[in-house]
Chain A
Amino acid sequence: MTTLAAAAGTEAAPEPAEASGPRRSFGRYLAGKVLGALGSLLFVLVVNFFLFRVLPGDPARSLTRGRVVSKEQMDAFREQYGLDQPLAQQFLTYLKNTAQGDLGVSIRYNVPVSELIVDRMWPTIALVGVSTLLATVIGVYLGMVSAWRRGGGFDRFSTGITLTLYSMPEWWLGLLLIAGLSVGFGPLPGIFPTGGLNSIDADPSSLSGMLDSAWHLTLPVITLTLAYLAEYSLIMRSSLLDELGENYLTTARAKGLRDVEVRRRHAVPNALLPTTTLAALNIGFVVSGAITIETIFSIPGLGLLSYEALSIPDYDVLQGTFLLASGAVIVANLVANLIYGVLDPRVRT
């Protein structure tokens, strides 16, 4: 939810101090962004490593929290995890292991975390991908129409609905949808499955099995889409309203272009730029949504994996999913920045 407030910050982004500098080439812009992303990734690794080893005092004790252990067991534990070595050495080992795809072993499942992640990746990608796409398209469209008919009935209705959706925890909306559409309310029968990814008798690899999975994913996708379109709509509305005051639109109208043309060819492309940045920042937000939505719909994806891990707590799994989520968001942001750099040469300064 931080992104709406953040958008208010990015509004003032073109700072005088930086804009006055010499314009850089695209190559330098690219190099700067890639280096920045690598730095962020390294910092994720540092946080991931130190949070679990330094903060809670004795890691051996906190990693075995809730279990009775003897001194010998503790020592064996320390040796097994390399906790008897100096911190710098441990960090290097951690970096090396992570680079080789070794993310540790899950206490709950007793299998390597990387295997678990690969197993659980696809439902999340399907859920998050489809909902992001739908939310962007519908949200941008709603925001566009609202801004164009500012103050009218549609605008007030749409802004009211989107603000309410924005103020709602997405999983609460999901719970309501489960109660209303899956279980059925009063005389109305439920139509959607209450959760899971497959029916018990379906073969996930067959065509009917895939359709069955799609059917199971419908309600979660609707929930996430509703939750996220609000933000796109609000941002698109405000950035289009910004553009509408600009002189070049008056010029376009004075040239004799019809309103539809002015909107489609002049205002909307410019208003889409801030929305692009938001879409990238929002991927992190969607990752968060996947955790709660997968939990309430019991979809066996990465989100549910993290939820299950936090009650144990299964540290290696939590670290692995955090690393993956952050890495995905950093890469997505890098890509968005590069696209933005191509679309709008002004940001390359």
Chain B
Amino acid sequence: MSTTSPPLSARQIARRRRTAAWRRNWALFRGHRAGLVGLCILAVFVVVALAAPLLADGEGLKVTKATGGVLESPSGEFWLGTDESGRSVLTMLIWGTRISLLVGLLATAISMVIGTVVGLVAGFFEGWTSRLLYRLTEWFLVIPFLPLAIILAVVLGRSLLNIAIVIGVTSWPATALLIRSQTLSIKERPYLERARVLGAGRWHQMTRHVLPNVMPMVFANTTLTVAVAILSETTLSFLGLGDPGRVSWGSMLEGAFGVGAMTTGSWWYIVPPGICVVLVVLAFTLIGQALEEVFNPRLRER
């Protein structure tokens, strides 16, 4: 058998193992009905976000180009009615998908980078750096999110990037704690001791040994963080801290609340954006939980 096939290079072996691991994990993931449902819901929203220009005319977002009446109820022309300036709610919903997903992903990327770096360093190093970082993480975890986000958003000003920064900077501590505890346990394993004995530097140990091992957890955690980030974006936009020039689900709800849509019975302006938020957040949560079970054998046994 192996005598006939040519010897594989280290890279090839690694690649083979990695593909096998992916296949195994995908098979495990497929066994999760809830996770698959989440994936399908998410796929629909991603398609809508990408195809937004095909589904609805972007001009419909401009208040000056609005064709409908004020808060018209759903009709053949406006499937989901109109808002207070006569824009189609459906058009806003479709284009809002882009902004909500974009801010959610951007904020998550920021949060993951900070969380992973802080967690790795806090877990890998010893002494005061580690202790200081750990305290900082605890601090961010304890401080109430919204008041901190509000003062940050007020200080930074209102723009798409700023709102993502605000959410990213306030939502990393959970990730950092997770990565730190994983790093602490990986650090003690024999193969890392071996690497140290062979003269591996800290950078090599961290990037080649610790990081690849915590990556699955980071991945599972990322999907859960996106859910949190999208919820946060919605809340901050609702409070009027979002980008004033762009339509997101949160800013639509801000508009709906501003004109008192719930007292005038304009349900089409309140219900659809909220349902979209719930569906997307639910989708990310379900996928994240399924991934956690795939990557964490201890949870799988349940």
Interface residues of A (CB under 8 A from B): 1-6, 8-10, 12-13, 15-17, 36, 39-40, 43-44, 48, 51-52, 55-56, 150, 163-164, 166-169, 171-172, 175-176, 178-179, 183, 185, 194, 241, 245, 281, 283-285, 287-288, 291-292, 295-296, 306-307, 310-311, 313, 315, 318-319, 321-322, 325-326, 329-330, 333
With beta carbons under 8 angstroms apart, the residue of A8, A39, A185 that contacts B178 is: A8
Q: B245-302: which have CB < 8 Å to A?
A: 253, 256-257, 262-263, 265, 267, 270-271, 274, 277-278, 281-282, 285-286, 292, 301-302
Cα of A342 to Cα of B281 in the assembled complex, Å: 38
Q: List 9 A-B contacts (CB under 8 A).
A: A2-B174, A12-B185, A40-B139, A167-B278, A175-B253, A284-B143, A285-B145, A311-B240, A318-B151
Q: Is B175 positioned at the interface, with any CB of A under 8 Å from its CB? A: yes
- The reply to whether B228 and A8 form a contact with Cβ atoms under 8 Å apart is no
> What's the Cα separation between A55 and B225 when bound, in Å?
27
Minimal beta-carbon separation of A128 from chain B (angstroms): 11
Given A39-B135, A40-B139: A176 and B270 interface contact (C-beta under 8 Å) = yes
> Which residues of B lie under 8 Å from residue A168 when comparing CB positions?
274, 277-278, 281
- Residues of A within 8 Å of B225, CB to CB, are 5
Contact string against A for B residues 191-230, beta-carbon threshold 8 Å, 1 for contact and 0 otherwise = 0000000000000000000000000000001001101100
Closest to B224 in A: A5
**Extra 11 A-B pairs, beta carbons < 8 Å, given A169-B234, A288-B146:** A2-B145, A5-B224, A15-B181, A168-B274, A176-B262, A245-B301, A306-B150, A310-B241, A318-B151, A319-B151, A322-B151
Q: Which of B144, B240, B282 has the most CB of A within 10 A?
A: B144
Complex Cα–Cα for A182 and B148 (A): 32
Measured in the bound complex, the distance between the Cα atoms of B142 and A313 in whole Å is 25
In angstroms, Cα B136 to Cα A40, docked, is: 9
Q: Do B145 and A284 touch across chains, with their CB atoms under 8 A apart?
A: yes
A6 to B172 alpha-carbon distance, docked (Å): 10
Q: Within the complex, which residue of B138, B262, B281 is in contact with A175, where a contact is CB–CB below 8 Å?
A: B262
Minimum Cβ distance to chain A for residue B60 (Å) = 24
Q: Which residues of B contact A10 (CB under 8 A)?
A: 177
